[in-house]
Each structure stands twice: as structure tokens, then as C-alpha cells.
Structure 1
């Protein structure tokens, strides 16, 4: 796929709509079974006893769902050079079966790299909301992008 998004395409305050994804009971239990098999993610009775009203998604599952939206709506067509890592992640509310999650990313910083003139780094805050428009997760993460002149 041709890369159409470069470092120069971002400005501080810019918001990128990343779309949405449903969350099902099967998705929660499948992820938990494979990657985070704690009872609160697998057994509705344990989730209820914990005051959650049934099973909820693992925070890492929620991050994976958000990352899929980032890949599909931004990174798949961006000249991305990776990321040095997530600086902060906050799980704000439980994600439940039936939730419909929507992701947005806001550019919080945009800086050309002196050490690598072919790259720039863009800081983002990603916010994931549920169907009631309540935030369920946020993360802060920088992403490296090629500079347009370097790609030419």
C-alpha cells in the first residue's frame, strides 16, 4: 500500500477519528483464555462478586482493540517508523460485552528529530469511549513518521 501520511501532515491539536469496534462476550473470553486468564474476565459470577456486574475485558484486551483501530485507520497508510513505547495508559471504566468502543487520537506534540533528519516524532493521546461516550481508556504514546522530503 502506498504511504500517504507523513510527519508534515500533523499539527498540535489535530484530532484523528479512528472509528469504532464492538465488544462481544466471546471476544472477551477468547482474549482472556489466550492471554489474561483471570477469573474476572472468564466467569460472570466472579465478575458479579467483584461488583462489576459480570465479566469485563482485560485492560490489555482493550489496548489491543485500540491498537487495531490505530493500525486500520492510521498506520496502514502512514510512513510510520515505529514508536519508542507507550508513556502512560489509564483504564478508566470497565469494558463490558455489548459495549461499542470509539477511538480518537489527538496530536499533543510535533517535533522534527535533529539526530534523524529523515524522521519526526508526533505525541498522541488516544481516548477510547464506550457507547455512552464515557472514556474507558486513555494512553499517551509518541509515533515516529518519515518526513515527506526524505521519502521522495
Structure 2
């Protein structure tokens, strides 16, 4: 069995994976989901404040989500997320950039309304090949407990 609520420790920080962005994937994603000129057209991107083609922030987050699911959540007791609290796109992601993702556990608690699961607050960090943090995501994830407690504290 993969990761359960009990396995996650507040203060832990784990490397999740890496991904290198290509021109082709940046343009393909943007044409479908975020067709702003600086994501799809090199000439327009050169004339933009970014001075060249950049990945959509949504593309960056999607890549990180894919890494998280494939490398950490597959086989886990994850039952989804009630939402993301904050996304910060701090620096542009450009073709050829290699993003290394880290996931930190900031807080956790057993759900009061559903005591068979816990809510874990996490911080995702995307760091490029130059050591610069380019994106952060603060989110909550629900994980099932291996040994849930019944009301009153008895194991079920």
C-alpha cells in the first residue's frame, strides 16, 4: 500500500520529480488551454515583457500535478482535494527549463466530520535548473487513515 495519512509528517519535504519543458509542449498546451500570444507565438513572445516564449502557469501546475500523482499518490489513500489556497507564479518557465518539484507537509489533522480521513496542508515548490523557485502552490489533500478512530476514540 502507498502513502496514508499516518505516513505524512509535518515538516517533511520530499523531492517529487523533474520535468524539462519543450517549445512543442508549451505551445501545444497553450493552444488548447491558454492561447495568450506569449505562450503560442515566438515573435509575439519576443515583443512581450517576457522577451520570449514562456509556459502557461496552468501548464506548469498541470505538470507538477502529474508528477505528484505518478510519483507520490499512486497507490496512496488520497481521496482528492477540497481545494488550493494559493498559487504563486514567481518567474517565467521557458523552453529548456528543467523544473524540480518538492512537496512539503505544513499541517495535518483528522477530519471532524469524517474521522476516517485526514486533511493535509502541503506546499508544492517548482525550482528551475538555476535554483530559482518559479512556482509555489499551497493546497489541501485528503488521505484515508489506515486505522480510523470511531467517535469516542475506539478503533473501528
TM-score of the two chains, using structure 1 as the length reference: 0.94
* Aligned mates of 1:19, 1:40 — CA distance in 2: 27
State the partner residue of 1:55. Answer: 53
State the partner residue of 1:95. Answer: 93
State the partner residue of 1:18. Answer: 16
State the partner residue of 1:122. Answer: 120
Q: Secondary structure at the match of 2:45?
A: helix
> Shift of the alpha carbon at 1:68?
0.6
Q: Indicate the structure (1 or 2) with the bigger Cα radius of gyration.
A: 2
> Shift of the alpha carbon at 1:37?
1.0
- Quick check: 1:79 aligned with 2:77? yes
Indicate which of 130, 135, 139 corresponds to 1:137. Answer: 135
> Shift of the alpha carbon at 1:5?
0.9
Instruction: Kindly indicate whether the alpha-carbon contact (under 8 Å) linking 2:100 and 2:126 is maintained by their aligned counterparts in 1.
Output: yes
> Shift of the alpha carbon at 1:142?
0.6
Post-superposition CA distance 1:99-140 (Å, at most 9, x none): 001100110001111211100011001000111110110010
* Aligned mates of 1:147, 1:102 — CA distance in 2: 29
RMSD (CA atoms): 1.2
* Aligned mates of 1:86, 1:77 — CA distance in 2: 22
State the partner residue of 1:104. Answer: 102
Q: Count matched residues.
A: 149
Q: Which runs of 5+ in 2 are unaligned?
A: 149-155
- Quick check: 1:43 aligned with 2:41? yes
Q: Secondary structure at the match of 2:35?
A: coil
* 4+ residue segments displaced more than 6 Å: none
> Shift of the alpha carbon at 1:42?
1.0
